[in-house]
A and B are shown apart, each in its own frame.
Chain A
Amino acid sequence: MTFELWIEKYRPRTLDDVVDQEDVIRALKGFVKKKSMPHLLFAGPAGTGKTTTALALAHDIYESEELLRANYLELNASDERGIDTIRTKIKDFAKTAPFGEVPFKIIHLDEADSLTADAQHALRRIMEMYSATTRFILACNYSSKIIEPIQSRTAVFRFGPIPEEAVKERILMIAEKEKVRYTEDGISAIVYVAEGDLRRAINILQTASAMADLVDAKLVYRVAGLAHPEEIKGMINAAIKGKFIAARDMLRNLMINYGMSAQDVVKQLNREILASKSIPDKLKAELMVFMSDVDYRITEGAHGDIQLAALLAKLVELGEFYEGTSLD
């Protein structure tokens, strides 16, 4: 058994160690050489190395842990309460001059595409205000969700999904070093469910190896399913069977006790409903219309629990109409 989380232990520290993404790395090394860089926008799916690359770039630019710590600020847009708290943190960080030789500090704002368009405009102004002493690295899943004025002020780098071979190689390397017992199909299963997301692959490997002595395909699929709380399915079934209050209790439990965000719940609901084998397609279509509405309202600031409860009430109604329906 290990003392550490493997995503941390095996995170590449320098640009040279970053897996795949050769084109991006080559360009970034140019910035390191000149000790100068523009604002950057990293776009790509989860687990393809955006955060790691940002860290490695900063590491190579500042050359020491101390300077890195003093000059590098990492924020996550979806974890901060709105653009105002982000502004305050940036202001506090940017008000002191950069330490050391490099004439700028780096602010890494992850999940920048979770900010609304208005907040992004505010962000653009913040970027301009501090551009003399800071450089921003914005990370997002889709660059199309970033407003034009920001895109045009940043150098955009695209991160593709990591090829299966590269994921496999990395997973095998870690498995060897950590002395994990595995089967061939176990490793293939990890590569399959990770879908090019290296971080997820490593986390699945560690969870599986912590749960049993042998990592095989069966275990991997079970672990991969863990992330989806059972209550979502139970909630849908309860609602379709007309047990609204039970369904609403599960919803509140998920949101309050488990702390799941309303957006995650609706996304998960959507996934479960879409994949269900027993809900008739016509019913799925009606639900899609409603779910898209709920999702939009939540993004706009409505109470997630009320909007989702309204969705559950809709399920109750439709469940009556299409009798005998339930999730598999």
Chain B
Amino acid sequence: MKELPWTEKYRPKRLDEIKGQNKAVAEIREWIRKVKAGKITKALLLVGPPGSGKTSAAHAIANELGYDPIEVNASDLRDKTHLHYIVENIRAPSLLTMKPRLIILDEIDALPSEGRAIVSLVKELISKEGVPIVMTANDPYERHLYEIRSMSQMVKFYRLRWTTVLQVLKEICQKEGVMISTDILKRIAQNSQGDLRAAINDLESIAKGDKALAESIGKILGKRDIESDVFKALMAIFYGSNCYAAWLESMSVDIDPDMLLRWVEENLPLVYSGKILSKAYDYLSIADMVRSRIIRTNNWRLLSYYTQLMTFAVCTAKEGKPKGVKLKFPEIIRKLATTKEERAKTKEFLFRLARKLHLPTKLVRLEVVPILIADSKGERKILKRLERELGIREEDMLDILSDLEKHYRLEI
């Protein structure tokens, strides 16, 4: 019997088997509901990084609907007769199963040169009403996909967390009856950068290969490292003299443009100073403004200016060769992540207080917090009362207040 690769063998068959994409799955279910109700809906465009579950989801959708999936992939696009056949016969139910059909267009951004062909195919398919279409893409902002985006409903898949990947790997090990230490599974999961397919492939090669060697997986498998790509791009932006090359380099990194913006911003003042820093920050702030316009107006045509400004334009700001420094991870991202819980607590406290006092939270912060800080140093009578009225523990409020106190010139 032919053995399937594990990535196929353990491909989710149903939507609820798709891991770590709750929001996307919920949106898909809503779409399915509409299709079942017979409402004409837009084509579904599943976007996200490799190995996040898009293709699995597309097939799971067919399963849940009870439709026959017809997969059209990039290479079919070159075969005009085959394509024509598909388009013409699409509305007839499948001869074998008599089920209605669902079109799956996989990786529509894989062949940029076929961009026009894809766009016209999708248009033609959409015009044949009543046949649901599901598409997948890694990068929905690829230029030629502009029209497709406007014709479809986009559902975002996110890079999986390594803990989610680890959980899946453990389950597979159990089903396959292979013993691999959690430590190694953890390393596979972390190396995969959220690409579940890559992780399962790595797992299979380790399980089937020499298990002793598995201990040194870091070396065998090579690191799937996004950070090193980012560093390369940053080097090109900050130190390179060819800004066009810097732009190209940046675009080849598998990273969200917003994240790249953060990387550039974090490291800018480490490399540049004075007038040059100001100039570069100017470009960066305009890039950020363009970003906000894209979001507000949904005008994705501006995307290229956004990425050019944060790479090419920033690159032109320098005069001569800047000093070499060690580049680092965007601190602000880390800070936002590590202080998330406390910030949420403080926010909740201020918000409840604001509602109780019929004030905006900013006024609570400015005018009421000083009273509470003073109270917290005395008999805490107001705090004790607030504990009952707001349902927040006195100790928690004391923590929050001592945190906030640092920001006032209070000498009591």
Binding site for B on A (CB under 8 A): 1-5, 7-8, 46, 51-52, 55, 74, 76, 78-79, 110-111, 199-200, 203-204, 206-207, 210-211, 222-223, 225-227, 229-231, 242, 244-245, 248, 252, 254, 256-261, 264, 294, 297, 300-303, 305-307, 309-310, 313-314, 316-317, 320
13 A-B pairs with C-beta separation under 8 A: A5-B368, A8-B356, A74-B358, A207-B371, A211-B374, A226-B410, A256-B335, A257-B339, A259-B346, A301-B295, A305-B332, A306-B261, A309-B281
Residue of B nearest to A297 (CB): B289
B345-388 interface (Cβ within 8 A of A):
346-347, 350-351, 354-363, 365-368, 370-371, 374-375, 378-379, 381-382, 384-385
- Give a binary string over B258-287; 1 marks a CB under 8 Å from any A CB, 0 the rest: 000100010001100111011011101100
B319 nearest CB across to chain A (Å): 14
Tell whether B27 is near chain A: CB-to-CB under 8 Å: no
Note all chain A residues with C-beta closer than 8 A to B331: 252
Tell whether B293 is near chain A: CB-to-CB under 8 Å: yes
Q: Are B277 and A317 in contact (CB under 8 A)?
A: yes
Tell whether B336 is near chain A: CB-to-CB under 8 Å: yes
**Lowest 8 A-B CB distances belong to which pairs?**
A210-B374, A310-B285, A301-B292, A313-B281, A317-B278, A203-B367, A310-B281, A227-B366
Tell me, in angstroms, the Cα distance from A233 to B293 when the chains sit together.
31
Tell me, in angstroms, the Cα distance from A316 to B269 when the chains sit together.
11
Majority-rule SS of B interface residues: helix
The one of B339, B368, B407 in contact with A254, judged by C-beta atoms closer than 8 angstroms, is B407
Note all chain A residues with C-beta closer than 8 A to B407: 229-231, 254, 257-258
Note all chain A residues with C-beta closer than 8 A to B379: 1
Note all chain A residues with C-beta closer than 8 A to B366: 227
B189-234 interface (Cβ within 8 A of A):
none
Q: Are B343 and A242 in contact (CB under 8 A)?
A: no
The one of B269, B284, B351, B360 in contact with A245, judged by C-beta atoms closer than 8 angstroms, is B269
Tell whether B9 is near chain A: CB-to-CB under 8 Å: no
Tell me, in angstroms, the Cα distance from A256 to B404 when the chains sit together.
11
A306/B362 contact (C-beta < 8 A), A226-B408, A229-B408, A242-B273 known: no
Tell me, in angstroms, the Cα distance from A7 to B146 when the chains sit together.
55
Greatest chain A CB density within 10 A among B355, B358, B379 is at B358
Note all chain A residues with C-beta closer than 8 A to B412: 211
Q: Are B367 and A227 in contact (CB under 8 A)?
A: yes
A30 nearest CB across to chain B (Å): 24
Tell whether B288 is near chain A: CB-to-CB under 8 Å: yes
Tell me, in angstroms, the Cα distance from A258 to B356 when the chains sit together.
21
Tell whether B403 is near chain A: CB-to-CB under 8 Å: yes
The one of A46, A297, A306, A320 in contact with B274, judged by C-beta atoms closer than 8 angstroms, is A320
Tell whether B101 is near chain A: CB-to-CB under 8 Å: no
Q: A207-B370, A306-B285, A313-B277 are in contact. List 15 more A-B contacts (CB 8 A).
A: A1-B379, A74-B358, A227-B367, A230-B407, A245-B269, A248-B269, A252-B331, A256-B335, A256-B336, A256-B343, A259-B343, A294-B285, A297-B288, A306-B288, A320-B275
Note all chain B residues with C-beta closer than 8 A to A306: 261, 265, 284-285, 288
A317/B355 contact (C-beta < 8 A), A259-B347, A259-B350, A300-B292 known: no
Note all chain B residues with C-beta closer than 8 A to A203: 367-368, 370-371
A252/B265 contact (C-beta < 8 A), A259-B365, A297-B285, A301-B295 known: no
Q: Are B277 and A210 in contact (CB under 8 A)?
A: no
Note all chain A residues with C-beta closer than 8 A to B270: 245
Tell me, in angstroms, the Cα distance from A151 to B113 when the chains sit together.
54
Q: Are B357 and A256 in contact (CB under 8 A)?
A: no
